[in-house]
Structures are given as structure tokens and as C-alpha cells.
Amino acid sequence: MLFSQFFAPTSRDVPSEAVVISHQLMIRAGMISKTASGIYCWLPLAMRVMEKIIAIVADEQSKIGSQRVLFSTIQPAELWKESGRYDSYGKEMLRIRDRKDGEFLYSPTNEEQATDIFRKYVHSYKYLPLMLYQIHWKFRDEIRPRFGVMRGREFLMKDGYSFARNFAEAQEIYQRVFHSYINTFRRMGLIAIPVQADPGAIGGNMSHEFQILAETGESTLFYDGRLLNASAEEQLSIYAVTDDRYDSQTAPIPKEELMVSKGIEVGHIFYFGTKYSKPLDAYVLDENGNKLYPEMGSYGIGISRLIAAIIESSHDNRGIIWPEAVAPFDVTILNLHQQDEECRDIALKLYQAISSKREVLYDDRSISVGEKLADADLIGIPYQIIVGQKKIREGKVELKNRKTSNVELLSPEEVIKRFTSNGE
Ligand code: P5A
């Protein structure tokens, strides 16, 4: 991609309402544009990151046997009256009337709808367990949308729903999802701390939140330090809670010995048994022809929030530092002297050669050296290949690592080899 043709409206100005660094950087890097409070448009740089995150999430979902669907965003109110949540969900629900005065709502979550699909099509225990997920937009009319896309009103979620024959099978699925979430976040370069959580409006009696450690997080976590080095299996039984759940009576370790950190909730999983299957009368027949109400769970990942959370946990005073797995491009080429023919030739040659194997953003714009370097650090692509007059005369270009700021002086051939040979 040529930067001169890439729609990334970077800017130096941030609105005063952008108080957290991820919000400021997403606006400065030209990733998002505000439509209304808590509602954003997503621009190409953000979309590239979002697609990478979605690919990792989808891959991990398919590994645990969950099948992708796409529910409608608009649901009939009737479905939520069946579960009893139409009233209890309250003002966070965006209620809509169509031209015939029918009552609808924009999905804040899809437990009812998943259960409805199940009851329509699944009638035998032989189809259990069943796991479905989607990646789709939600709307929750939060009282205080803030921190940009971190707490939006419209946001993208991976939401999964499971149907099991019995409690043991439901527990096994819950654990499978638990492990897969640890892997999912690890693949994005993040360490997610699983904490015991409150089921809240989703309901049920077992729930874990996955929290990314970040100073600007909205949650305060108390956790046993061993959690940081434990395997996913061990993590399920190591103590960690959010401050509102801490109870000195039941905590296995005194408060003074627990680690305290701020966290951002990027995932939340729930086991709620037959809370939805019973009221919606969603059942299958078991081997004896008796009614069996599936034991259910639901599993969320805040995809759009993750983009902000990754920035919160990986940036410096110059800008974003994307983990390689979710970076919008693998490498950027900065031609510092666009008017210089030799620089242009070398930069183009590098661009063409490396593009065959990697995603490259070639900054071919005729802007000042300072602006070009500043934009590259702001956008945070993991590697910068810097082509400048002086070094080119010595047959060299610079390869800079955005994270470490380490610079290597290499020939253009060496750089091409670095990015195109297998194993790099
Ligand atoms: C789980 C899947 C649920 O809704 N039903 C379907 C369950 N869980 S949840 O905890 O309420 O949300 C799941 C994740 O979505 C993200 N999230 C948000 N992201 C941005 N803005 C918001 N207002 C918002 N609300 C929730 C979080 O990452 C949460 O863990």
C-alpha cells in the first residue's frame, strides 16, 4: 500500500474529551472518527487491525469446535419477554418500533436468539454438545460511554453460546473456552488475567472475566501473583477477583499478600445452566425420549475494546507499538527524500520485493522528514525501513525496530532477504 493513497487521516490535535492514551492515539493515527457519543466509524488502519484480531479469534473458536453464525442485530421484543429480560434489561436496551408499531430491539447480547435458533432446529440429544458463535455489532445505551471505543454504546463482540447434555459436559466446555481465551489473548501479544466475576445481567452461577493489565483500566484486580506464570489449567484454580468481589471471609490469601493492578475487561464467560433453555422451552429428546433442557453458557470477547486495550498496554510517548500478530502492516518503508531518484528507486525496489511476502506500507508522500518519522512512530508498524540520501550513498538503509528503537544498518538486499526468506 502506498501511503500517498492510503486513507489514514493522521493529526496532531486531539479533542479534550479523549482522556485515555488509546483514545488519543486512535484519533491521532486516523483510526476512528466519532459519529455520536459512544458511536464511531472505523477507518482503514483500524479495520486492518480489527481483521487480524477477528482472524485470531475465529481460528481459536474453530479449534474448540465452535461454528460461526451471524444473528440479526434486530430482534423481536417478544423473544426477550419470553426470557423475562425485556423489562429487567432496562434503559441500556435500545428499543425500536417498526412501521406497523411492532416492538423490536437492537441486540445488546444474543442469549435469547441463540436459544431460539436451537429450539427451532435441534430436537435430538445426538446433536449435543453444540457451540455457535458470531462476531457482530451490539448496542448498549451505556449511561457513561467513555474512553473512546473502550466503553462505547455501539461495539463489536465475539459472542459464543454453548448447549450441553448435562452439567459435566457444560463444565468441560466452559473449561475448554477458558483455555482457548488464554491462548487467544496470548496470540495477540497480551497477558490476560482470568478473574472470578459477577454474572450480572447475563445471569448464572459461574463466571470469569479476562482482564488485561493496564494502568488506565476501569477495574481493580486482586490476585495471587502465581497467576502470572501459571499454565492455563492452573489458572482456573488460582485466586483472582475484582475489588467489588473481594471478601476477606472467603479469600484464601490475606489482602496484603495479593497483587493489586488495574485491568481492562476484554472477555467474559458465563455458565448459566437452563436459565434460558427452560423459559424458552428449548429442549431435545434424550435416549429415552424424555425432555432434556440443554445446560448453556455464553462467552464474550470485546473485539473493538481489544483494539484500545492493546494500545493501552503497548505504546510509548511517540505512539502505538503494535504487537506483530495484530499490526496493520508488517513493515513500513520511509523514503525520506522522495525527490531523490536513487532513494525513489531503492524504496520502490524494496517495496515491490517485500510486498510479495509481507504487508508493506510505503510512505511515498512528499512531506518533511520529521513528519514522516513522527507518523511512522505514531502508527506503530513493528518495523521501519528508512531510506535516506546519506546512507544510500554508502549502499545502506536503516532497519528500525519500533518497540526497541534498535537500528541496524543493512544493504537493501539484506533487508529484502530478512523479510522474504522463510522463517522470518
Ligand atoms: C457473553 C457473550 C456478554 O454479553 N453475552 C454474550 C455475554 N458478556 S459481557 O461481559 O456483557 O460482554 C462481553 C465483552 O464485551 C465487551 N464489552 C464492551 N466493549 C465496548 N464497549 C462496551 N460498552 C462494552 N460492553 C461489553 C467487554 O470486553 C466484555 O467482556
- For 98-141, the pLDDT digits (tens) are 999 999 999 999 999 999 999 999 999 999 999 999 999 999 99
pLDDT in tens, 38-69: 999 999 999 999 999 999 999 999 999 999 99
Ligand 1 proximity of 202 Cβ (cutoff 6 Å) = yes
> Nearest residue CA, atom 2 of ligand 1?
300
Q: Greater confidence, 218 or 417?
A: 417
Q: Would you place residue 36 in the very low, low, confident or very high pLDDT band (cuts 50, 70, 90)? A: very high
Number of domains in the chain: 2
Give the residue from 252, 281, 316 where a domain finishes.
Answer: 316
Distance 101 CA to ligand 1 centre (A): 30
Ligand 1 proximity of 23 Cβ (cutoff 6 Å) = no
Residue 132 lies in a domain: yes
Note whether 192 and 146 are same-domain residues. Answer: yes
> Nearest residue CA, atom 4 of ligand 1?
109
Asked if residue 84 has pLDDT above 60, the reply is yes
Note whether 180 and 57 are same-domain residues. Answer: yes
Ligand 1 proximity of 194 Cβ (cutoff 6 Å) = no
Ligand 1 proximity of 159 Cβ (cutoff 6 Å) = yes
Residue 244 lies in a domain: yes
Distance 267 CA to ligand 1 centre (A): 7
Note whether 312 and 336 are same-domain residues. Answer: no
Note whether 334 and 367 are same-domain residues. Answer: yes
Check residue 423 and give its pLDDT. 59
Q: What's the CA gap between 78 and 6, in Å, rounded?
A: 45
Q: Can you give the residue range of the structural domain that contains 391?
A: 329-422
> Nearest residue CA, atom 17 of ligand 1?
302
Ligand 1 proximity of 299 Cβ (cutoff 6 Å) = yes
Pocket probe mutation, ligand 1, options 111, 151, 198, 305, max atoms within 8 Å of Cβ: 305
Ligand 1 proximity of 154 Cβ (cutoff 6 Å) = no
Ligand 1 proximity of 271 Cβ (cutoff 6 Å) = no
> Nearest residue CA, atom 15 of ligand 1?
302
Pocket probe mutation, ligand 1, options 144, 268, 310, max atoms within 8 Å of Cβ: 268
Distance 302 CA to ligand 1 centre (A): 6
Mean pLDDT (the chain) is 95
Residue 394 lies in a domain: yes
Query: Mean pLDDT over residues 283-294, rounded?
Result: 97
Ligand 1 proximity of 300 Cβ (cutoff 6 Å) = yes
Note whether 307 and 334 are same-domain residues. Answer: no
Check residue 176 and give its pLDDT. 97
Note whether 250 and 352 are same-domain residues. Answer: no
Q: Would you place residue 248 in the very low, low, confident or very high pLDDT band (cuts 50, 70, 90)? A: confident
Domain containing residue 9: CATH number: 3.30.930.10
Ligand 1 proximity of 109 Cβ (cutoff 6 Å) = yes
Give the residue from 316, 343, 359 where a domain finishes.
Answer: 316
CA of 210, closest atom in ligand 1: 30
Ligand 1 proximity of 275 Cβ (cutoff 6 Å) = no
Domain containing residue 385: CATH number: 3.40.50.800
Query: Mean pLDDT over residues 150-157, rounded?
Result: 97
Distance 286 CA to ligand 1 centre (A): 33
Q: Would you place residue 308 in the very low, low, confident or very high pLDDT band (cuts 50, 70, 90)? A: very high
> Nearest residue CA, atom 18 of ligand 1?
302
Q: Greater confidence, 85 or 248?
A: 85
pLDDT in tens, 371-392: 999 999 999 999 999 999 999 9
Give the residue from 277, 293, 316 where a domain finishes.
Answer: 316
Note whether 305 and 334 are same-domain residues. Answer: no
Residue 398 lies in a domain: yes
Q: Would you place residue 14 in the very low, low, confident or very high pLDDT band (cuts 50, 70, 90)? A: confident
Note whether 111 and 259 are same-domain residues. Answer: yes
Q: Greater confidence, 251 or 366?
A: 366
Query: Mean pLDDT over residues 268-277, rounded?
Result: 97
Asked if residue 424 has pLDDT above 60, the reply is no
Check residue 144 and give its pLDDT. 92
Residue 74 lies in a domain: yes
Check residue 325 and give its pLDDT. 97
Ligand 1 proximity of 218 Cβ (cutoff 6 Å) = no
Check residue 323 and give its pLDDT. 97
CA of 269, closest atom in ligand 1: 1
Note whether 182 and 55 are same-domain residues. Answer: yes
Q: Would you place residue 247 in the very low, low, confident or very high pLDDT band (cuts 50, 70, 90)? A: confident
Note whether 338 and 284 are same-domain residues. Answer: no
Comparing 201-205, 309-313, 390-394, the range with the smallest average pLDDT is 201-205
Residue 321 lies in a domain: no
Residue 322 lies in a domain: no
Distance 138 CA to ligand 1 centre (A): 9
Asked if residue 148 has pLDDT above 50, the reply is yes
Note whether 312 and 333 are same-domain residues. Answer: no
Ligand 1 proximity of 162 Cβ (cutoff 6 Å) = no
Distance 412 CA to ligand 1 centre (A): 46
Note whether 101 and 211 are same-domain residues. Answer: yes
